[in-house]
């Protein structure tokens, strides 16, 4: 295994059995660059590959930072719908792009069964889209669309900030994902809303990014 990775054993909140997870040592990933939808590129190990824990015993999967946040009612939904059909399989050790995608898809399926909120689904779907981007796989577009649906639902129904997601970053993502999937009119609408918001000026970096992307959409439209 790569020297920047290590294994540790944790208890599963669904089946209570212990299993091994693989973590990335702090400071072993160096930020290289970032796309306009916050997809980050690293030198060395990509920590996103290891963000999802999958219990090898029951198939419960979730992002590491939320792994323990599951109600007993949700746990029984997982036991009934996933564990009963799960064949023991470990996701510990070095992951490939494909196993990282599989782990995220399992987390998405778990979330779907738990009737997760739009913001939570968006967080998983945007990461799956980024992994497909790294793979140069056109399935990226499907997951950008799912992520957009999640952000749009979050914007309509949730109270901001939702964890680390504030209202204006959510607006930005709706504009940017519409641009990426080719809904240019929609993209202009959402970027304009963000740029025109007096409150959003508290985050000048985000406004600068929105202005840049607003320009990008205008150029895309002019080319058509
Ligand atoms: Zn388990």
CB 36 within 8 A of CB 209: yes
Q: Which helix (H) or strand (E) holds 108?
A: helix 97-113
The CA 56 to ligand 1 mean position distance, Å, reads 7
CA of 75 from ligand 1 middle (Å) equals 9
Ligand 1 center to 61 CA (angstroms): 8
Please tell me the predicted confidence (pLDDT) of residue 27: 85
How far apart are the CA of 118 and the centre of ligand 1, in A? 25
Give the chain's residues under pLDDT 50.
none
Interval between CA 157 and ligand 1 midpoint (Å): 32
Ligand 1 center from residue 1 Cα (angstroms) = 24
CA 11 – ligand 1 centroid, Å:
8
Kindly give the distance from the C-alpha atom of residue 190 to the centroid of ligand 1, in angstroms, as a whole number. 41
- Domain spans of the chain? 1-115
pTM greater than 0.75: yes
Query: What is the whole-number distance in angstroms between the Cα of residue 15 and the centre of ligand 1?
Result: 4
165-169, Cβ contacts within 8 angstroms, sequence gap of 24 or more: 165/119, 165/123, 166/203, 168/194, 168/197, 168/199, 168/200, 168/203, 168/206, 169/203, 169/206
Q: Rounded CA gap, 171 and 191, in Å?
A: 7
Supply angle C-alpha 54, 52, 121, rounded to 5: 110
Place of tokens 């739009």: 118
- pLDDT tens per residue across span 39-61: 999 998 999 999 999 999 999 99
User: Ligand 1 center to residue 22 CA distance, Å?
Assistant: 16
- 158 CA to middle of ligand 1, Å? 30
């Amino acid at each position: 295994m790569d020297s920047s990775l290590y294994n540790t054993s944790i208890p599963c909140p669904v089946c209570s059995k212990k299993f091994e997870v693989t973590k990335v040592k702090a400071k072993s990933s160096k930020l290289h660059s970032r796309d306009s939808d916050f997809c980050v590129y690293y030198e060395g190990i990509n920590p996103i590959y290891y963000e999802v824990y999958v219990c090898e015993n029951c198939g419960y999967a979730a992002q590491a930072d939320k792994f323990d946040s599951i109600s007993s009612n949700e746990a029984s939904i997982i036991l009934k719908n996933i564990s009963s059909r799960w064949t023991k399989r470990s996701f510990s050790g070095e992951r490939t792009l494909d196993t990282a995608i599989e782990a995220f898809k399992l987390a998405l399926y778990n979330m779907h069964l738990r009737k997760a909120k739009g913001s939570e689904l968006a967080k998983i779907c945007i990461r799956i889209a980024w992994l497909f981007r790294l793979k140069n796989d056109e399935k990226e577009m499907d997951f950008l669309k799912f992520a957009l649906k999640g952000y749009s639902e979050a914007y309509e129904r949730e109270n901001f900030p939702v964890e680390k997601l504030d209202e204006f970053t959510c607006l930005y993502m709706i504009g940017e994902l519409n641009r990426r999937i080719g809904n240019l009119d929609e993209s202009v609408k959402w970027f304009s809303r963000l740029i025109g918001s007096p409150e959003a000026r508290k985050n000048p970096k985000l406004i600068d990014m929105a202005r840049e992307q607003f320009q990008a959409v205008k150029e895309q439209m002019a080319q058509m």
